[in-house]
Amino acid sequence: MTPIVRALLAFVTSLFRSRVSLQVEIVSLRHQLTVYERSIRRPRVRRSDRIFWSWLARHWARWREVLVFVQPATVLAWQRQRFRDHWARLSRREPGRPAIPTEVRALIREISAANPRWGFPRIQGELRKSGIAVAKSTGEKYRVRHRTPPSATWTTVLRSHVTDLMSIDFFPVPTVGFRVLFVLGVFAHDGRTVIHFNVTEHPTAHWTAQQIVEAFPWETASRYLLRDRDAVSGDIFERRLKGLGIAQVRTAPRSLWQPRMPSGRSGASGGSVWTTPSS
């Protein structure tokens, strides 16, 4: 179809249109010509252009027929974006709580520094007397926290008293002749050394107590003795320990595994496990 025929058809069609619709079409075409005139390779669309076509798409039904410089979907995307921007501006608020004045923050630090034993509830009460209302969480943020001397860790305590720790344990040794011998070991935690050991076929409480005496003949016994709850350690054994000034510490009943000493080594056998001394 030649341009002349198109023009004639457009003229005939315009005779049956309303004057308002015709004027709107003329305005839209002139606007697109203006956009093309200020463009070099591609149309340079400004914010005013987007607003104009968003308004035109809402109020004129034939806007798609005269739109040339962009796709109709682009105009609809402009409308959705303007809607999102509008409601984002209405719902925009400053994040978080209002800032605490510098004078109030300085006053909180001053009161807490002058009164190290005060918690913030008491500081908060003093501020309220002056008509200053501050939330507890906010005040805790700005008050001065006094450093307390660190307490000794459990590892430090054990290292300090490791020279006072020893342990004993039995472990069986089967022989070639199908006999079972029992080896008693006395172990010092300081230096991880074996102080004394002996072998017997019939361990008794009297024999076990005598081994402690032989292990410490010159009143050199450690302060604490760590042992399991073997029945061989009877009343005689306990009285001998008390006479030597040794405090015994037993493992928990029916407890195969308990916290080991920091040295990382257990007793001579796997039957009992060293535990920590109690004061």
State yes or no: pLDDT of 163 exceeds 70.
yes
Asked if 175 and 218 sit in the same domain, the reply is: yes
In a domain, 273, yes or no: no
In a domain, 265, yes or no: no
Asked if 170 and 236 sit in the same domain, the reply is: yes
Q: Look at the chain and report how many structural domains it folds into.
A: 3
* pLDDT tens digit sequence for 32-82: 777 766 666 666 778 888 888 888 888 878 788 777 777 888 888 888 888
In a domain, 122, yes or no: yes
State yes or no: pLDDT of 277 exceeds 60.
no
Domain containing 231 — which CATH number? 3.30.420.10
Asked if 10 and 45 sit in the same domain, the reply is: yes
Q: Which domain holds residue 134?
A: 102-142
Asked if 39 and 107 sit in the same domain, the reply is: no
In a domain, 241, yes or no: yes
Asked if 216 and 190 sit in the same domain, the reply is: yes
Asked if 168 and 219 sit in the same domain, the reply is: yes
Asked if 107 and 170 sit in the same domain, the reply is: no
Predicted pLDDT at 276: 38
In a domain, 21, yes or no: yes
In a domain, 264, yes or no: no
In a domain, 278, yes or no: no
Asked if 7 and 82 sit in the same domain, the reply is: yes
Asked if 188 and 234 sit in the same domain, the reply is: yes
In a domain, 198, yes or no: yes
CA 144 remoteness from chain centre: 24
* Prediction pTM value: 0.37
Specify the higher pLDDT residue, 130 or 1: 130
